[in-house]
Amino acid sequence: MTSLLRAVVRKKRVVGLKTPTETAATPGFLHEETVVVNSLRQDQVVRGVPVARIDERGHGVVHVHVRQDQETFTFNYPRTLPGEKLNLRVGLAKKDRFNKKEAGSYRLAIDERTAASVDEVTPRCPHFRQECGGCAFQSLSYEAQLREKEKLLNLLMEQFELPFLAVDMVPSTPYGWHARTEFTIFLRDGLQLGLHPEGSPIPIALSQCHLHPEESQAAFLALRAALRHANCEPFDERTGRGYLRSLVLRSAGTGGSKEVLATFVTLPEAPEERLAHAARLAVEESESLKGVTWSKEGGEGERSPGWRAVGQQSHELLAGRPYLLYDFLDMQLHLSPEAFLRPNIFLAEEVAKSALEMSGACEGDMVWDAFSGQGLLSLPLLRLGCRVLALDRSLPALQAVLRHAQLAAPGQDARIFCGDLGVPAFLQRLAAAARGEPPKILLVDPGRNGMPKVFRRFLLELQAPRLLFLSGGRVMARDLAWLLKRGYQLHSLKAFDLQPHSAKLSVLAKLEWSE
């Protein structure tokens, strides 16, 4: 699928109940979906306002132009779909007390939904209506989701004044794709596994999740039953009693089916024997569950509501085996539960193949894989005959890189360097290494926070001829814009829908150093 020309929008200050970085239509140009009113007064109902698009959280966006203010206001509503029409009630209408000429600030709440979106479908999951926090818009058809994400990407590119390029979109299978989910463990009529609705510290108890492969569902039920049977105690935030914080499920495909690895995340003082008993019961019960590991991450500082595991810690094995078998390209890898796992089971291979293709690499090229995780992006390059230096702050991830490299290309030059790519002292050591032999190809896959600022500056020093950058959303546009203003040129883009039913889209960009 190829993107069409972007809508003509420019950056403008916006006021009201909205994210401050949203764009609004400029005066004289109104979005097709903009509703125009003369003024907004308390309790007034603005009728039939269409949802124009989604925002970066997957919330529906509406535009209301107020003639009196000569301004277009943008409002965002969770769980609304593009094409849906809303009656909006003005809850707050306020003029600046000191400067009456300033535009007002308004709060508009949904009074009624008057027309459904033509793209609305019945959500597959019973928990979606409870706003379980797993999906932003399971009720939007998958084709419409892709369309909306592409629109959002184009809008971001426009906002950050990035050059227009056609984007290849790679869709996913919309269900059964999830490779890693962390469920909160809590007490509510017995032990429950659940997720948090957006912005809420109170989890929803789940009985199933369709984002997971079926094999993972069986493991989920077996683990919940085993934890209950072994009388394992969830941590209770009100009393400080208990020790179980969360359950992480990881899945990967091998031999035509999927297998699952679970991790119990607990406070350090959790009783090993009881956890091991639950783990053994679950592994016996569920054929797809190949092992259970234990991470004592939930220490003193992590007792707050809504706490999430950050991973990268060493695990202990409680039952079964401590790795997942994963058929990747034509190799069988051992994936470590202590390192990053790309969220989409179906597309991880496609992302790595695309990186290889877009890199234009040749045998013997020096490749640096920054934020390497377990090295899945650079493995195909290693097999081609490139030399690879993997960089990450996670030692378990780098140890997996060496294991994978040994399997993919025995004897080939694969090295690791463990450190924080946001720390100047580590970057200085890298700069010294680059003076020996600079990388010809640099892979950069920094995760949700994008590139640390000092790392971006380091890239200018490094001047790698080819840079492949995998990222998403606003941080991706920010980092791209920064690099393009300072000597890199954008060559091509490819987008992967790694997380269906969310607004997230991952983009692989190829840049070339031009100075």
Going by the annotation, the residues of the binding site are 371, 392, 445
Q: Which is nearer to ligand SAM, 138 or 295 (CB)?
A: 295
Interacting span for ligand SAM (CB under 6 A) from 20-28, 49-57, 358-366, 387-395: 387-395
Cβ contacts of 264 within 8 Å, gap of 6 or more: 244, 247, 270, 275, 278, 279, 292, 293, 294, 295, 318
Interacting span for ligand SAM (CB under 6 A) from 118-126, 286-294, 393-401, 479-487: 393-401
**Options 182, 214, 420, 512; binder of ligand SAM; rule CB under 6 A:** 420
Q: Which is nearer to ligand SAM, 198 or 420 (CB)?
A: 420
Q: Which is nearer to ligand SAM, 208 or 313 (CB)?
A: 313
CB of 398 to ligand SAM, least distance (A): 9
Answer yes or no: are the C-beta atoms of 24 and 172 closer than 8 Å. no
CB contact burial 370-385 (16+ within 10 A = b; e otherwise): bbbbbbbbbbbbbbbe
In the shown chain, the binding pattern of residues 428 to 447 toward ligand SAM, with x for contact by CB under 6 A and - for none, equals -----------------xxx
Q: Which is nearer to ligand SAM, 40 or 170 (CB)?
A: 170
Cα–Cα distance measured from residue 337 to residue 346, given in angstroms and rounded to the nearest whole number: 18
**262 is an interface residue for ligand SAM by CB under 6 A:** no
**377 is an interface residue for ligand SAM by CB under 6 A:** yes
Number of Cβ atoms within 10 Å of the Cβ of 260? 27
The torsion angles phi and psi of 159, rounded to 5 degrees, stand at -60, -40
Answer yes or no: are the C-beta atoms of 389 and 420 closer than 8 Å. no
Q: Which is nearer to ligand SAM, 276 or 397 (CB)?
A: 397
Interacting span for ligand SAM (CB under 6 A) from 92-100, 263-271, 420-428, 503-511: 420-428
Q: CB-hemisphere CA count at 13 Å for 212? A: 25
Cβ contacts of 179 within 8 Å, gap of 6 or more: 250, 251, 252, 341, 342, 343, 344, 345, 348
Q: Which is nearer to ligand SAM, 34 or 354 (CB)?
A: 354
**374 is an interface residue for ligand SAM by CB under 6 A:** yes
Answer yes or no: are the C-beta atoms of 441 and 359 closer than 8 Å. yes
By CB under 6 A, the residues from 334 to 373 that bind ligand SAM are 340, 342, 371-373
In the shown chain, the binding pattern of residues 265 to 304 toward ligand SAM, with x for contact by CB under 6 A and - for none, equals ----------------------------------------
Residue ranges of E strands in 356-497: 366-370, 387-392, 414-418, 441-444, 466-472, 488-496
**422 is an interface residue for ligand SAM by CB under 6 A:** yes
Interacting span for ligand SAM (CB under 6 A) from 5-13, 112-120, 187-195, 390-398: 390-398
Interacting span for ligand SAM (CB under 6 A) from 38-46, 258-266, 286-294, 415-423: 415-423
**Options 394, 499, 502, 506; binder of ligand SAM; rule CB under 6 A:** 394
Token pair recorded at residue 54 = 């989604």
**Options 25, 146, 260, 397; binder of ligand SAM; rule CB under 6 A:** 397
Q: Which is nearer to ligand SAM, 212 or 342 (CB)?
A: 342
**φ/ψ bin of 293: left (φ > 0), alpha (ψ from -120 to 50), beta (otherwise):** beta
Residue keyed to tokens 């991973």: 311
Cα–Cα distance measured from residue 141 to residue 135, given in angstroms and rounded to the nearest whole number: 13
Applying CB under 6 A, the residues found at the interface with ligand SAM are 312, 340, 342, 371-374, 376-377, 392-394, 397, 420-422, 445-447, 452
